Copies of this chain bind each other. A is one copy, B any other.
Amino acid sequence: MKVSEIGEFGLIKLLSEVILRRRSASVAKNEYGMVVDIGDDASAWRSNKSLTIATIDTLVQGVHFTSEISWRELGWKTLAVNLSDIAAMGGLPRNALVSLSLPADTEVDDVIQLYEGMEDIATEFGVNIVGGNVTSAPVVVITLTLVGEGTNGVLLTRSRAAPQELIVVTGYLGTSAAGQKMLSQHLQIEPQKAELLRKAHFLPQPRVAEGQVLLDCGVRCAIDVSDGLLADVGHICESSRVSARIRADLIPIHPVVKEFFGAEALELALGGGEDYELVFAATEDIVTAVKERVGCMVTVIGRFSSIGATKEEQSGMVFLVNEDGENLEWKMRGWEHF
């Protein structure tokens, strides 16, 4: 069987099984103190009273990016996606390690621009690039590991959504996917608006400070929107053993995206991914508290419910509904490799 036949998430599930089956043998030698294990946005463990959070992400030329992105933007985005994983755990990002695989004919100036871009965002978020590795390869592959720490020993995870909690999202959804579409289809959009879409796609702003506020307000369950809203809420449902009802009419979509993509805007918002906004589970009181403290838009878009409450809610599903609560047919899925 090829990996294309079981897909990215199928493969991850199989590999997790290998690891967890073998885990017991090595645990005897290593008191890991795992707090968050395989399957969340990042991993976390406790040692010597400190809570370490670590995440790894890879961008592959031709898969994650094309020549449309500048090297400097690529540097920014590489660190941004990792920052978003730490943000989704409510962690404080600290130190980064970078592994660079490059064709031999890559321009040195381009690589320097890549690092300048990483330093742009590293500076903004107080991150230190502390080490790395350089190898040759047929295509550009950039892998970044970001190590951070938990504050006050608490974390946001995917597995703590409770039935009846609200589904809440920061910022707008679909703007990054709209930017990608504009670039790949060479759509003509007026410069200022085009720049907004391009930035959303190439220079995402990870919600690190917002993750801290969520924790502080009592939120315990979050994920970042990387695969796409429906897919990512699906990850929460699977880990938390709940179902979700998302109101299509409440999805926050930027006016520029509505203007240029019309009916397609909702598709981009639900399935596009790479928004790097945070989706979280919270009670109404907590949502009110969060809204008072964060600088960005915070929108309630639906509600979690218990599995098994109705016949159709048996497998932690995500339902898209209209304002009357009626199910809308929805077939699009988020991004999956292979």
Binding site for B on A (CB under 8 A): 1-6, 8, 11-12, 14-15, 18-19, 22-23, 25-30, 32, 34, 37-38, 40, 42-43, 45, 47-50, 52, 54-58, 60, 62-64, 94-95, 97-99, 101-102, 104-109, 111-112, 115-116, 119, 122-123, 125-139, 141, 143, 145, 147, 149, 337-338
- Distance between Cα atoms of A6 and B125 in the complex (Å): 31
List, in ascending order, chain B residues with CB within 8 A of A108's CB. Answer: 1-3, 5-6, 11, 14
Contact yes or no, A128 B95, CB < 8 A: no
B123 touches A25 (CB 8 A): yes
Chain B neighbourhood of A11, CB < 8 A: 108, 111, 134
Residues of B within 8 A of A14 (CB): 108, 111-112
- State whether A56 and B98 are in contact (beta carbons under 8 Å apart), knowing that A14-B112, A38-B130, A128-B23 are contacts in the complex: yes
Q: A38-B131, A130-B38 are in contact. Are A18 and B58 (CB under 8 A)?
A: no
Q: Say whether B137 contacts A60, CB under 8 Å.
A: yes
Q: List 18 A-B contacts (CB under 8 A).
A: A1-B109, A3-B104, A3-B111, A4-B104, A12-B134, A15-B111, A15-B134, A26-B126, A29-B125, A32-B95, A37-B130, A38-B132, A48-B50, A57-B99, A58-B141, A60-B136, A60-B138, A97-B145
Max chain B C-beta neighbours (<10 A), residue from A34, A99, A134: A134
Closest 7 CB pairs of A and B: A29-B126, A43-B131, A48-B50, A43-B130, A30-B126, A143-B143, A4-B104
Given A32-B95, A137-B60: A115 and B19 interface contact (C-beta under 8 Å): yes
Q: Are A128 and B32 in contact (CB under 8 A)?
A: yes
The distance in angstroms between the C-alpha atoms of A126 and B34, with both chains bound, is 14
Residues of B within 8 A of A12 (CB): 132, 134
CA distance A52 to B53 in the complex (A): 12
User: Which residues of chain B have C-beta atoms less than 8 A from A131's C-beta?
Assistant: 37-38, 40, 42-43, 54-56
Q: Say yes or no: B29 contacts A97, CB within 8 Å.
A: no
Cβ contacts under 8 Å, A8 to chain B: 134-135
Chain B positions within 8 Å of A15 at CB level: 111-112, 115, 132, 134
Q: Nearest B residue to A147 by beta-carbon distance?
A: B54
The dominant DSSP class at the A interface is mixed
- Complex: chain B residue closest to A97, CB-CB: B56
Q: In chain B, what residue has the closest Cβ to A109?
A: B1
Across the interface, do B32 and A123 meet the contact criterion of CB distance under 8 Å? no
A216 to chain B, nearest CB (A): 19
User: Of residues A15, A127, A149, which shows the largest number of chain B Cβ atoms within 10 Å of its Cβ?
Assistant: A15
Residue from the set A95, A102, A133 with the largest chain B CB neighbour count within 10 Å:
A133
Cβ of A56 and Cβ of B19 under 8 Å apart?
A: no
| Cross-chain contact B47 with A47 (CB below 8 angstroms) | no
Is there contact, CB below 8 Å, between B143 and A99?
yes
Nearest chain B CB to A117's CB is how many angstroms away? Answer: 10
Contact in complex: A55, B115 (CB < 8 Å): no
How many Å from the CB of A25 to the closest CB on chain B? Answer: 5
Most B C-beta atoms less than 10 A away, residue of A32, A40, A112, A129: A129
A110 to B120, CA, bound (A): 39
